[in-house]
Amino acid sequence: MGFLINSGMAIDIFEPLKDLQGNKLKSATWYRNAVSLIADRTSPSQLFKSGKLLGRPSAGRMSMFFYDPKTKARLPYYDTFPLVLPLEPMRGGFIGLNFHYLPYGARFAFLQQLQSLASNGKFDQSTKIQATYDQVKSNKYVKASIKRYLYSQVRSQFLRVNVDEMALAAYLPVAQFQGASLGSVFAKSRRTF
């Protein structure tokens, strides 16, 4: 697994959201509560120590990495530790969806909507979200989360987040915004929905 949050159960964030031990449906509230139990022990550096690190983002899987935007002087705010689902390569980098720009409930809803683009129905380490910009551009969450990333500005390796870990990763309180508070970022993002 990319990074192990709860070794006692396999997490399937898609159809249906079930705890394999109790066969109970999982809600956004369950994921938020599960993450709150480990939030005080979770930091970007701890995630990197326990995870699968790659030199480039893995297509179809989320990644976390440290980033220093080239144009930060012109940006009102930015995330230095993004959680990104890469969509397409671009010259010198890639375009992706940074889930940290979305309020927690929107993150969960967006993940549920992206399930239709899964490569298979297993929702395990073999599954990829095969999304392109053209496939998601009309989704209401894209405007707030779409970002361009330059490899020259990446300041770490990429921590791969497999599909079965995406829901928990989306709730981890590890966003590192500069220039605005998390509440302010969420308020501005909500205006784009």
Cα-only R_g, the chain: 16
pLDDT mean over 17-34:
48
Q: How far apart are CA 81 and CA 94, in angstroms?
A: 16
- 64 or 123: which leads in pLDDT: 64
For residue 173, give Cα distances in angstroms to 25, 28, 177: 23, 15, 11
Average pLDDT, the chain: 80
Tell me how long the chain is. 193
- 174 or 177: which leads in pLDDT: 177
The residue written with tokens 């990495």 in the block is 65
Q: What's the pLDDT at 122?
A: 79
pTM: 0.78
Condensed to tens digits (0 to 9), the pLDDT of residues 100-151 reads 999 999 998 999 899 889 888 877 788 899 999 999 999 999 999 999 999 9
Q: What are the extents of the domains in the chain?
A: 18-190
Residue 76: other Cβ atoms inside 10 A: 9
Q: Say which range, 68-72, 101-105, 166-170, has the weakest mean pLDDT.
A: 166-170
Burial 30-54 (b: 16+ CB within 10 A, else e): ebbebbeeeeeeeebeebbeebbee
What is the DSSP track for 145-191?
HEEEEEGGGB-S-EEEE-GGGHHHHHH-S---EESS-HHHHHHHHHT
Q: How far apart are CA 69 and CA 23, in angstroms?
A: 43
